[in-house]
Amino acid sequence: MTDITEIRTVLRGQSIELPSWAFGNSGTRFKVFAQTGVPRDPYEKVSDAAQVHRFTGVAPTVSLHIPWDRVSDFTDLARHAADEGVRLGVVNSNTFQDPDYMLGSVCHPDPAVRRKAVDHLLECVDIMDATGSRDLKLWFADGTNYPGQDDIRGRQDRLAESLATVYERLGPNQRMLLEYKLFEPAFYSTDVPDWGTSYAHCLKLGESARVCVDTGHHAPGTNIEFIVAFLLREQRLGAFDFNSRFYADDDLMVGAADPFQLFRIMYEVVRAGALDPSAGVNFMLDQCHNIEPKIPAQIRSVMNVQEATAKALLVDRDALAAAHQDGDVLGANAVFMDAYNTDVRPMLAELREQQGLDPDPMTAYRKSGYAEKIVDERKGGQQAGWGA
């Protein structure tokens, strides 16, 4: 696509979902450094997320994490989101922080623990009914640390059975997103370690089960854009959890470690026409801001995704196809790199101005006084955190 007006229209329609947990305190297993002005409850997290949308115009939904974001009335939380100009998005489940889950959750050898995990997932679907959310995101910390610790194949059976129970409960417009992760917290074997395992379970479950690709959950050197291309071709890519990594599951700002990789991923998305909402791909951030201020870090991340998307849209697909036909290896690569090396920031700044936004979201946020206001207002109470 090289028609600039068309590119602008696509960029204007882009939608990036924010994780509620990015606004709370987080850290490593060594230390959580508390910041000032951090939300004390899910309402304040939603308000902070709304600031990111206010300054970027492309982040209209917020992902919830249960139980971190449990409230007594989810329809009221949805109303609060609407008042702030955003909507509640994916419901992320949590089957990894209860003492019962030491040896796993849906794959646990004890049927009582599996039942407890499945009940939690069913409760998440109840919450989706109340919030109007389409997607249930499943990430399982399940796995083993030592060879022989449990029956690898038996755990797959338990996983399949648990997933089927939850799948049955989904409403007609609801979906299940199965996320995979290579390792951690389990170090020897993980029950959903890769896209192939997730894909195979989704295929068995049915059309409403899709794979979630968290960009930080692969071995170093993995060609993530291949996975994306494959899953899109099979119409089984349900969502991204965007973040970037240098070493493991670093959860750093997307596009910070490797903006070229993000461009390559977004090119496959564009190539498949999957920016269109009808493709059913949810573009989410899954990040933690341990040492940097959280709201600006989310704004920066949204901008990084926008920039990678704009560059991907700029790839001259006709020229690329012609080079492919001619077997012109260097020519094809040059077409690709030309797009990547284009400075799209002026175009995005202009686009924001056309939408009545400040061309520079980072500065506009800084000048807005919101950061000072929350430090002032949010005194007392318990700061939100991931409770690790």
Among 214, 225, 251, 358, binds Mn ion (CB under 5 A): 214
DSSP string, 185-222: S-SSEESS-SHHHHHHHHHHH-TTEEEEEETTSS-TT-
φ, ψ (nearest 5 deg) of residue 92: -95, 130
**Count of CB atoms within 10 A of residue 246's CB?**
11
Tokens 């939850």 correspond to 166
Strand intervals (E) in the chain? 16-19, 61-65, 87-92, 135-138, 143-144, 175-179, 189-190, 209-214, 237-242, 282-285
What is the spatial distance between Cα 77 and Cα 34, in angstroms, rounded to a whole number?
A: 25
DSSP label of 93: P
Q: Least Å distance between CB 181 and Mn ion?
A: 7
The reply to whether 286 sits near Mn ion by the rule CB under 5 A is yes
Q: Determine, following the binding rule CB under 6 A, whether residue 241 of this chain makes contact with ligand RM4.
A: yes
Q: Which is nearer to ligand RM4, 249 or 307 (CB)?
A: 249
User: What part of residues 233-272 is at the interface with Mn ion (CB under 5 A)?
Assistant: 241
Q: Is residue 92 a contact residue for ligand RM4 (CB under 6 A)?
A: yes
Q: Going along 275-370, which residue ranges are E strands? A: 282-285
Least separation in angstroms between CB 241 and Mn ion: 3
Distance in Å, CB of 54 to Mn ion, minimum? 25
Q: CB-wise, 150 or 179, nearer to ligand RM4?
A: 179
Geometric angle at alpha carbon 76, from 278 and 88, rounded to 5°: 25
Under DSSP, is residue 336 helix (H, G, I), strand (E, B) or coil?
helix
Binding of residue 135 to Mn ion (CB under 5 A): no
Gap between the Cα atoms of 314 and 2, Å rounded = 6
The piece of 196-204, 206-214, 271-279, 332-340 that touches Mn ion (CB under 5 A) is: 206-214
Of 44 and 249, which has the nearer Cβ to Mn ion?
249
268 binds, among ligand RM4, Mn ion, none (CB under 5 to 8 A by kind): none
By the rule CB under 6 A, 286 interacts with ligand RM4: yes
- Shortest CB 115 distance to ligand RM4, Å: 22
In terms of Cβ atoms closer than 10 Å to its own Cβ (0-12, 13-18, 19+), residue 27 is middle
Residue count, binding to ligand RM4 (CB under 6 A)? 8
Output the CA–CA distances (angstroms, integers) from residue 31 to 27, 28, 139, 216, 386, in the order listed.
Answer: 6, 6, 24, 21, 12
Q: Which of 23, 139, 242, 365 binds ligand RM4 (CB under 6 A)?
A: 139
Tell me the number of residues near Mn ion by CB under 5 A: 3
Select from Mn ion, ligand RM4, none the partner in contact with residue 114, using the beta carbon and a kind-dependent cut-off of 5 to 8 Å.
none
Residue 249 binds ligand RM4 (CB under 6 A): yes
Residue of the chain from 214, 225, 268, 358 that contacts ligand RM4 (CB under 6 A): 214
Question: Could you list the residues that contact ligand RM4 (CB under 6 A)?
Answer: 92, 139, 179, 181, 214, 241, 249, 286
